[in-house]
Amino acid sequence: MSKKPILITGISIVAVAAVIAIKGTQGGAAADTTLPEFQVKRGDLVIDVLEGGNIHALQSLEIKNEVKINAGTKILEIVDEGYQITQEDVENRMVLARLDPSGIEEMIVDHDVEFQQTEAAYAESKQSLEIEESESLSEVKLTRQVLRFALLDFQKFVGEKAAREVLQSLSLPYDSDTIMAYEQDATEQILKSFDAQTLLTDQDPTDDSPFTGNARESQAATVDFAILLETDRLGEGEAEQTMRRLKDEALVAKTELAVVTESVEGAKRLHEKEFITKQTLENEMVGLEKARLSLQTKETELGLFRDYEFPKEAEKMLSNYEESLLELIREKREAIATVARAQAKYRSAKRRYELEMKKREDLQTQLESCVIYAEKPGLVAYGGANDNYYTSRYYDAISEGATLKLGQPIITIPDMSRLGVDVDIHESHIKKIELGQRAVITADAEADKVLDGRVSKVAVLPDSNASRYNPSLKVYPSTVEIQGTHDFLKPGMTAKVKIIVDELKDVLYIPVQAVFVEKDQQFVFLRDGGEYKRQLVQVGNYNDEFIEIVEGLGEGDSVALRMPDDYDPLEEDDLVPASMAEAGDSESKKDA
């Protein structure tokens, strides 16, 4: 460690230092009348942080290159930098810059063919969707009609009451309302089966569902229709009418047989008395045989209908009705699948059309952006509002013939009503800076004019660009907003900013160069008669010129502003801990 004492600067002074007692007069030096001195003063001391920076507009209209061409876009013409745009220029749509539109015009021509093809495909898919929806609706309507007719046929044959009883026992729809509910439930199940998320699961969404539309054993085969005849539960259906007709015909045949039988008996008696011939009796006997055959035929027809035809026709009609229900589900499934395919094709075509339309509009917007008009009054400045060393190296300078990259700022029109100063606060001062603190600003161009300001922004993290080439440098970008408007201020001017951290009232203070540090002890050279003695001091806050003396000096004491040439630095053994120094200082005060 160097034995040379270190002069305290505005950055290296610590906020609190221990007051250390000095053993005897060791470390003193003979008075040198050539040393500059300063008498300790009492008064108000303003604590500030002084930084330099550049004035800029806090709000600006930044116009950038929006033409998306890999090779870049050239500037054909541009208004002179520093031109003052007036309100009349804005109203007359003054042209500020023209960019080369040839590249974007070629892209528009190339895209036009692709756009027309996409538009045609979109129109075709839309028409196909409407056709598929219409055809599917017609097919479903026809199938629904067949279903209703099948139900009516079954009801007509067995009677409405018996049909309802049978269908309810099989949990099948039995009228228009239940058919509608059945179809609605089936539609929901079908739509659920088309859900992609459901298909990804292990469970088959169509398992154990009555709406699969797959062929399965008919429930009609399980119905005992003979019970309907035995219990006389048939209504006014076709089967009941047939049964009545057959029964009536059998009854008529039986009656006719009885009449013919009686007639034959009478004919026999007449033949025995020879009132009629044998041929007449034989004719009567033939009629009797016909009557017997007719009765037998009618009874056989009645039995066949009751035992075979009725169950067969009832089961056949019920089976047709069941099949019509399944056919409706299959048709619904096919219709939904067909329409879904058409919808998917339509959505794909529509999405592609929307993308191409957006691309077309974007190309048109880029073409329009090749001509830049005046939008608001103000001063024309080339480049961006926040251009720095790194962005200036990435972008070409703004001028006629220059090639612009996408997003490169071309012109910035600052809002002169709100100006501020960008400053970098060193990390040793950043804890002192807070939002809203008052600041005093002087522009280098008008050093005699003092402006008021307020701290409006303080960065949370240090500037990474500033430490790129000097890792030990840590500064925090901050902004001080200038109060009011001032015509002489221009963006880009350099300025000095004093941020008022504190205003100390009635304190002792001396110049910062009068305080020295040696092995963490802060001291001054205090004139004591004809010599300077090493005097420990406790310091407080400070600015770039003066530092507060909390303890160790009195008002009017004279201190040297530089170190005496013959000063001999103290050895390590001559330094005492701060706690002992404080105790010795307290005893000295008590003796005094």
Q: CA-CA distance, 47 to 502, in Å (whole number)?
A: 5
How many CB atoms neighbour CB 197 within 10 A? Answer: 7
How many CB atoms neighbour CB 345 within 10 A? Answer: 17
Is residue 479 pLDDT above 90, yes or no?
yes
SS (H, E, C) 464-486: CCCCCCCCCCCEEEEEEEECCCC
Is residue 591 pLDDT above 80, yes or no?
no
Domains, the chain, in order of start with CATH, read 6-51+503-591 (2.40.420.20), 62-100+370-414 (2.40.50), 117-353 (no CATH)
pLDDT bucket at 152, cuts 50 / 70 / 90: very high
Is residue 63 pLDDT above 60, yes or no?
yes
Q: Is 520 left (phi over 0), alpha (psi -120 to 50) or beta?
A: left
Is residue 229 pLDDT above 80, yes or no?
no
Is residue 1 pLDDT above 50, yes or no?
no
Is residue 564 pLDDT above 60, yes or no?
yes
Token pair recorded at residue 216 = 């399965």
- Cα dihedral 362, 364, 370, 374, rounded to 10, equals -90
What SS3 state is found at 20?
coil
Q: Model confidence over 522-543: pLDDT tens digits? A: 999 999 888 889 999 999 988 8
Q: CA-CA distance, 256 to 92, in Å (whole number)?
A: 118
> Quick one: average pLDDT of 547-563?
92
Can you name the residues that pair with 6 across neighbouring β-strands? Answer: 517
Q: Model confidence over 433-458: pLDDT tens digits? A: 999 999 999 999 888 999 999 999 99
> Which one is predicted more confidently, 176 or 385?
176
Query: CA dist 325 to 160, 206, 212, 332, Å?
Result: 18, 17, 11, 11
> Which one is predicted more confidently, 97 or 17?
97
> Quick one: average pLDDT of 231-236?
72
Name every residue whose Cβ is closer than 8 Å to that of residue 216 and which is 6 or more positions away in sequence. Answer: none
Is residue 169 pLDDT above 50, yes or no?
yes
- Cα dihedral 313, 316, 322, 326, rounded to 10, equals -150
Q: CA-CA distance, 552 to 524, in Å (whole number)?
A: 9
| Burial environment of residue 72 by CB neighbours within 10 A (0 to 12, 13 to 18, 19 or more) | middle
Is residue 33 pLDDT above 80, yes or no?
no
pLDDT at 195 (0 to 100) = 67
pLDDT at 549 (0 to 100) = 94
